[in-house]
Amino acid sequence: MKYRSAFDIIGPVMIGPSSSHTAGAARIGRVARTLFGRLPKKAIISLYGSFAKTYKGHGTDFAIVAGLLDFDTNDERLPKALEIANEMGLAIEFRTEDAVVDHPNTVKINLYDEANDLEMVGISIGGGTIEITELNSFPLKLSGEHPAILVVHQDRFGIISAVTNVLSAYEINIGHMEVSRLEKGEMALMVIEVDQRIEDKVIDELTNLSNVSQIIRMVV
């Protein structure tokens, strides 16, 4: 477990029986919604380990869906999230998986609409704290607690320097950064957590960089 303070152990202000299975699950769902950028039309939610065994009793099912609806952990609508999602036209499918995973509280979320799809894997590590460990097959480490940008780019010389130079020019401090790639010279993903909100003009400048395919902004 990765606790930074007593508040991580006590857990967040929340509705639901479990900080790991309810609050953490809601936060994972909300990060998926943020990365997708809007309410999806369909979500396939695959549960592993403890999540798969206890998800109904601990409210993991409605919590993840509440996150997809952009509800916070203390939103009184959490227990009714499944009904609300149905009313809003969000089709939900839950799957329980037997595969062995590194963490018992693991969920894979696949989101779809007419224009886009997304696959994200997240874990709830206790006290409402989460980590996003995979996005569209790219391994990563994202807490969802800080403003962040995800830069999808071609694996080319100089692109990391170009991105950090833009952030430096706007005096944006980097708290955590990592880069992953599926194959040398192919698509890569840069994950950068920062200390302050990133303005639209910064996103525009990053988007216009050579070999950058997409910028995803995380706002907390």
What digits encode the pLDDT tens for the residues 132-179?
A: 999 999 998 888 888 999 999 999 999 999 999 999 999 999 999 999
Confidence band, pLDDT 50/70/90 cuts, at residue 218: confident
Query: How far is residue 204 from each of residues 38, 49, 115, 207, 209, measured CA to CA in Å?
Result: 20, 41, 21, 5, 9
SS3 category, 41: coil
What residue type is 35 in one-letter code?
L
> Residue 101: what pLDDT?
85
Query: How far apart, in whole angstroms, are the C-alpha atoms of residue 216 and residue 208?
Result: 14
DSSP code of residue 23: I
Taking only the tens place, the pLDDT of each residue in 51-76 is 999 888 888 999 999 999 999 888 99
DSSP code of residue 19: I
DSSP code of residue 199: P
Q: Where in the chain is the domain with CATH 3.30.1330.90?
A: 6-136
> Residue 20: what pLDDT?
66
What residue type is 158 in one-letter code?
G
Percent of the chain with pLDDT over 70: 90
Name the CATH superfamily for 148-218. Answer: ACT domain (3.30.70.260)
Q: Residue 178: which residues within 8 A CB-CB, separation 6 or more?
A: 140, 141, 190, 191
Closest CA to 192 of 143, 130, 156: 143
Q: Where are the alpha helices (DSSP H) in 1-116?
A: 6-10, 24-36, 49-54, 60-68, 81-87
Q: Of 1.10.150.120, 3.40.140.80, 3.30.1330.90, 3.30.1370.110, which CATH number belongs to 6-136? A: 3.30.1330.90
With beta carbons less than 8 A apart as the criterion, state whether 67 and 39 touch: no
Sign of the CA dihedral 185, 191, 196, 198? positive
Q: Where in the chain is the domain with CATH 3.30.70.260?
A: 148-218
Provide the whole-model pTM: 0.82
Q: What is the mean pLDDT of residues 82-88?
A: 97
> Residue 201: what pLDDT?
96
With beta carbons less than 8 A apart as the criterion, state whether 48 and 134 touch: no
Confidence band, pLDDT 50/70/90 cuts, at residue 17: very low
Average pLDDT, the chain: 88
State both tokens at 118: 């997304």
Closest CA to 109 of 129, 90, 89, 87: 90
